[in-house]
Structure 1
């Protein structure tokens, strides 16, 4: 199976409107194509759409670009709104007599250009706060049901309905990422063969990828799983010469050395040795003039501050991880550094898999990956030296 040639998506492409049919064969198309969600979770789209049809679920199209560095949803809204709206029509349950279709709403950050464009198109907009966890799937469901924009503890996916942890009734609600809905429209228009000709056997289809940071030409690109990172960097004009580290997946991602990134492919198998996945499709080359330890400290502090504040791992675990990392960055004793690293590793195990949502897991993944990648840098700090740009005594 071939991979897609990189094509920069920096201008509007002509988009034909897909006929609205509500054809149940769409489920077969989604299954045969192997389309998975493009928001990061990679859950089979056919399974979610089938459950939505069986339960007459409302639809929330997530256009928030909630991950750090993510701009794909806004790009889809800007350049492919007709196809996005057609995809929504396809996802809605087939008509059943005089029964009306369930409601549809588009989620976007409050006051954003994306929200303005959607509202100008005449669709209902669910405006979310500018908080990291507010665009999480269950947080959008909560907000749609007049609750806070905070993740909900769920016993089963909310596409089946049910009640939240407070006993409040939640009607069946499906949440799909904007790129996913757009891909559904493309599949209906172009067919399974077009879709599966791109990507890999286990991760088929085209995908949007945002590349930013210390590259010559940052932007949004259309590609597919299985491309080498070297091709990613070449498409973005190349890494700046002094780049040493690459962050893959945003706040819940992994930190790779330049050599690791250049040896890997952008796919689940390619990133598995480093503990990562393609996730939300965000790659950032860290600025070479900044100490990577400081960058990670800022990310962990940000992650702790963006907590929903409703479970122990978020309220206490994430601030602890951020504080421990900061202490490691400031440590000037080799033995104390070793003890601090051991404590941080132990703390990671107390955070992962224990939160009401996946936010603590993602931040812990980043902390663990950064610890693995930057231990030599931390050891240099312990001697009073920072390797970044050969600067000394910067802390």
Structure 2
């Protein structure tokens, strides 16, 4: 198995505290000098020639690193696909449009240079000459990131900071390429995929900032070290946002494969009786709490449980809340965040939100809405310009399964007493109709 242990400075971070070890407590950005004192220089020169690039690609392959932005695609395969093209570009995706996730914001707040190291090393691995770091325009992290970029040594692969409109789907890979090319942050139809033709028509690697931070550590400590925690299919640690009704909401770093009950315990556990857990944010999956806590936090275990890891976030819904009403609110938000350029989003998502609202109100209209809803959920997936409608369908379908008892009560004309009491956070403004440039 390929390693890079001879680049190690001191001891690697212990256990699963790797990205945030020692930094999160300070709640401030580590400067370049602090960063180098802890990790040593990024071993860019070791990987700069053809043989070195091959070693780095082999190390990432052997590590089993999977993307931390939602899809969980193997990072090594992504690097190799882009490396086949001419004059590739690296885009570090730090946009975090998911309302219940703040992991990327936390990472960039305290360890921006680990992300920048990873972006430069990825560029080295694929022989790219440009790195673009994207954050949302309405995210105050932009100032911290700009200061970190200004600290980078001269002669390094140039890094450019770009602020992207703060829309839910603006961080989708084709939307980023579209914005970087022509200033419009809406997704475009694929193919071609960005690794084939991306920014300025060049093959483009788009990786989440957490993924790149892990890559920076793999380049220093090797693939065997990275696999020292996690599972065979989901190796390493991950940043996870714990929210909803937990005692200490926030961002935590845990080993993949950790039982969900233990993950929630890191945040002090539920602070009132729980009903369900939402995995992967507002394009994710509801699971009843009894099933959720018996599941391990890994791609394979969540797949077996009928969910996906997605953007690693766990949101606990209290027993007093109405899961159908909460889902209806989220679906209305997702419909409003549509780019409004393809039928499944423009017409399908508002219709699903309307049907879910009818379910919440109950009675005869709810029975008719349920029939329409189940039909719509069966025909929308896979038909959008991006995966936004698929995520909304996944959320809606999981709510029908998870809150089946409540659904039957609503259909019988007995809506929940707490249906009018919001429990999940949503952005406090309406951005529909513009703000894509």
Residue 254 of structure 2: aligned partner: 223
* Distance apart, 1:146 and its partner CA: 1.8
Deviation digits for residues 337-356 of structure 1 (CA, Å, limit 9, x no counterpart):
44432321110112111111
Runs of 4+ in 1 over 6 A off after TM superposition: none
Q: Within 2, Cα distance between the matches of 1:366 and 1:150?
A: 22
Residue 347 of structure 1: aligned partner: 376
| 1:144 to 2:180 alignment | yes
* Distance apart, 1:113 and its partner CA: 1.8
Residue 51 of structure 1: aligned partner: 81
* Corresponding residue to 2:236 among 205, 209, 220: 205
Q: Within 1, Cα distance between the matches of 2:25 and 2:225?
A: 22
Which one is further off, 17-26 or 304-313?
Answer: 17-26
Q: Within 1, Cα distance between the matches of 2:245 and 2:84?
A: 47
Question: Is the CA contact 1:247–1:254 (under 8 Å) kept in the aligned structure 2?
Answer: yes
| 1:37 to 2:73 alignment | no
Secondary structure in structure 2 of the residue aligned to 1:135: coil
Residue 57 of structure 2: aligned partner: 27
* Corresponding residue to 1:372 among 401, 410, 435: 401
Question: Is the CA contact 2:233–2:300 (under 8 Å) kept in the aligned structure 1?
Answer: no
Deviation digits for residues 279-315 of structure 1 (CA, Å, limit 9, x no counterpart):
1101111245432222111100011111111111011
Deviation digits for residues 7-49 of structure 1 (CA, Å, limit 9, x no counterpart):
9953248642422223311100011111111101111111221
Question: Is the CA contact 1:317–1:350 (under 8 Å) kept in the aligned structure 2?
Answer: no
Question: Is the CA contact 2:98–2:281 (under 8 Å) kept in the aligned structure 1?
Answer: yes
Question: Is the CA contact 2:245–2:272 (under 8 Å) kept in the aligned structure 1?
Answer: no
Q: Within 1, Cα distance between the matches of 2:316 and 2:75?
A: 31
* Corresponding residue to 2:288 among 249, 257, 262: 257
Q: Within 1, Cα distance between the matches of 2:176 and 2:261?
A: 36
Residue 133 of structure 2: aligned partner: 106
Q: Within 1, Cα distance between the matches of 2:160 and 2:282?
A: 29
* Distance apart, 1:170 and its partner CA: 2.7
> How do residues 290-369 of structure 1 correspond to structure 2 at under 5 angstroms?
290-333=321-364, 337-369=366-398
Deviation digits for residues 53-83 of structure 1 (CA, Å, limit 9, x no counterpart):
3322111100112223121111221222222
Question: Is the CA contact 1:214–1:288 (under 8 Å) kept in the aligned structure 2?
Answer: no
- State TM-score, norm by structure 1: 0.89
Instruction: State the aligned residue count.
Output: 379
* Corresponding residue to 2:314 among 283, 300, 308: 283
Which one is further off, 36-45 or 239-248?
Answer: 239-248
* Distance apart, 1:248 and its partner CA: 0.7
| 1:120 to 2:137 alignment | no
* Distance apart, 1:264 and its partner CA: 1.6
* Distance apart, 1:388 and its partner CA: 5.7
Residue 166 of structure 1: aligned partner: none
* Distance apart, 1:276 and its partner CA: 1.3
Residue 70 of structure 1: aligned partner: 101
